[in-house]
Amino acid sequence: MQTGTNTLVATKAEVTNISPFGIWILTNDKEYFISYKDYPVFETATIKQIAEVTADFSGNLHWEELDADIELESLENPENYPLIYR
């Protein structure tokens, strides 16, 4: 029998590269590419705004100042998410 409580720990997210075409994010030991074409809010964002990414308990990404959220599922399986942010 186990006793105690479960503890939720927030996942860490880190910007690893900003290129002319998009940004690379590392979270949950995986790297994801977020293109400016699919997420234009990042194209005009400052480096500081892009770097201030946080991840929730599921690893989903959030940028408070940009009011932007991305579910990791949409980056892993984009064919299941045909609607693009405009």
Q: Is the pLDDT of residue 2 over 70?
A: no
pLDDT of residue 59: 74
- Residue with the larger pLDDT of the pair 66 and 7: 66
pLDDT of residue 82: 80
Q: Is the pLDDT of residue 77 over 60?
A: yes
Q: How many domains does the chain have?
A: 1
Q: Give me the CATH number covering residue 76.
A: 3.30.2020
pLDDT in tens, 35-72: 999 999 999 999 999 999 999 988 799 999 999 999 99
What is the sign, positive or negative, of the torsion defined by CA atoms of 44, 77, 56, 84?
positive
Report if residue 25 sits inside a domain: yes
C-beta separation of 51 from 3 below 8 A: no
* Residue 44 belongs to domain spanning: 13-80
Report if residue 75 sits inside a domain: yes
CA 40 to chain centre: 14
